[in-house]
Structures are given as C-alpha cells and as structure tokens.
Amino acid sequence: MRLLLVEDDVQMGPTLQNALSQAGYAVDLSVDGIDAEALGDIEPYDLIVLDLGLPKRSGLEVLQNWRNRNNHVPVVILTARGSWEEKVQGFKAGADDYVAKPFQTEELLARISAVLKRSSGTSGGPLQVAGLQLDEDAQSVQLSNGTLFTLTGTEFRLLRYFMLNPGQVISKSRLTEHVYEYDSDRDSNVIEVYVNRLRQKVGTDLIQTRRGQGYIFGSP
C-alpha cells in the first residue's frame, strides 16, 4: 500500500513519514502544493494524506484540481483544529476524511486504515479473503486450517495489496509501484521472488500466474 504524504513542516513531515512506514505503508513525502499535485497525478497512490496549509499552492486547490481531472484517489486532509470552515471546504472539494491538527499518530493511522477499507468495499473487521485472514496488529496471516505465519514488511505489503484487490489481474509493474516507495523502476525480479515466498506460506494456488500479464489472487 503506497501513500503520498504532503506536509511542509520540516519537523512533522519526516516524523509522520517514519510512523507511516512503520505501520507498513510505502510513503513518499512531498513538501509543496505544486510538487504534490503533479505526484498525485503521476504516481498510483492508494491514499494521500494532505496538509491544507502548503507553500506554493494550497492543499484545497490541489485537491480540487485532482478531482476536476477525475483523479479519485482517496484523500485524508489535515486541517487546523476547530476550523469548521476548512473541514467543510475540504469535504466539498472531495476529501474522504479529515484529521484535525494537532492529532495523535494513532488517530491518523486509524483514519487511514478506515478510509482504505471503505474505499476497497470491505468494511470493518480484519481483512479476510479467500480463506486468509490478515492480522494487521501482528502483521501476520492465518490460513483456513489455522496455521499462522508471520510476514516480513515487504511480504505484508504485497499480500495486503493482493487481498485488497482479489480476482483481478495485477501486473508486476503495478505491484512494484504499490509495494515500494518512489524511486523505482527496478528492472529485476524482486516481485517474482516475493510471490514465490508468499506462495510458500499461503499456498501455491492462491496466487495464480497470468503469463505475460501478471498475477491474480484468490479466484477461479
């Protein structure tokens, strides 16, 4: 799951980025409105955390521009506490949720997780697909026969992405984009290696190969 964090505060930005990484997301950080707007259009983020008070171009404007261009990426905005106006404007502009500053990291994490679940159709409870149950607290997965596997960071992100998009052919480049932070364009077989490791844990049939196209998770 790959996020864009748009936050110009030099203190808060990296701190949050770190916290989000630890929570198992791949996070890019952008520090101004123009840069953020471009990134949000180019990169396939699963969610964007958007501070409204930004240099160069306000967060609100950025958000409106995205929506005008039919970019419907889920957005959680960070508003000033008590600013009822900002919040309303934010929702009007197409935000999916908001967190008022100041906030606790755990609060933000909870909102992000909720929005992601909502936007993927699932609602509430642990992610449960195709006989697998993903435990986000323990970063582990339980099979239908009860066996429990712990997952490394990358395994976890990859599997979660599969489970959030079941029955859908997902190309390797799309996987790379969602599992890794910006850089990237790796000409390597990392994804294959990780698919292999996941298959060893959750079983071979759950992740099927579509030669030349990608993989498909949990589906006839």
Partner DNA sequence: CGAATCAGGCTTAATTTAAGCTGAACTTAC
Partner DNA sequence: GTAAGTTCAGCTTAAATTAAGCCTGATTCG
Nearest-approach distance from CB 19 to DNA, in angstroms: 13
Only segment of 9-17, 109-117, 129-137, 181-189 that touches DNA (CB under 7 A) = 181-189
Q: Which two tokens stand for residue 9?
A: 């505060």
> Where are the strands (E) in the chain, listed by range?
2-6, 26-30, 47-51, 75-80, 97-101, 127-129, 132-135, 140-142, 148-150, 169-170, 207-210, 214-217
> Does residue 214 touch DNA according to CB under 7 A?
yes
Please tell me whether residue 13 adopts helix, strand or coil conformation.
helix
Binding mask 118-157 for DNA (x = CB under 7 A): ----------------------------------xxxx--
- Which of 50, 40, 42 is CA-nearest to residue 77? 50
Comparing CB distances to DNA, the nearer of 122 and 168 is 168
Return the residue matching tokens 């707007």. 37
Rule CB under 8 A: say whether 123 interacts with a copy of itself.
Answer: no
Using CB under 8 A as the binding criterion, the count of chain residues that bind a copy of itself stands at 43
Residue 192, both tokens: 């294959």
- Exposed / middle / buried, residue 181 (Cβ in 10 Å: 0-12, 13-18, 19+): middle
Choose the one of a copy of itself, DNA, none that binds residue 192, judging by a C-beta under 5 to 8 angstroms depending on kind.
DNA
Judged by CB under 8 A, the residue of 9, 13, 19, 133 near a copy of itself is: 19
**In angstroms, how far is the first alpha carbon of the chain from the final one?**
25
Out of a copy of itself, DNA, none, what residue 195 binds, judged by CB under 5 to 8 A for its kind, is: DNA
What is the residue whose two structure tokens read 């195709």? 130
Question: Could you say which of 32, 35, 43, 61 contacts a copy of itself (CB under 8 A)?
Answer: 43
Half-sphere exposure of 173 (CA within 13 A, CB side): 6
Site residues, a copy of itself (CB under 8 A) = 15, 18-19, 22-24, 38, 41-44, 69, 81, 100, 102-106, 137-139, 148, 150, 152-153, 167-169, 171-174, 177, 185, 210-214, 216, 219-220
Residues forming the site for DNA (CB under 7 A): 152-155, 172, 180, 186, 188-190, 192-196, 199, 209-214
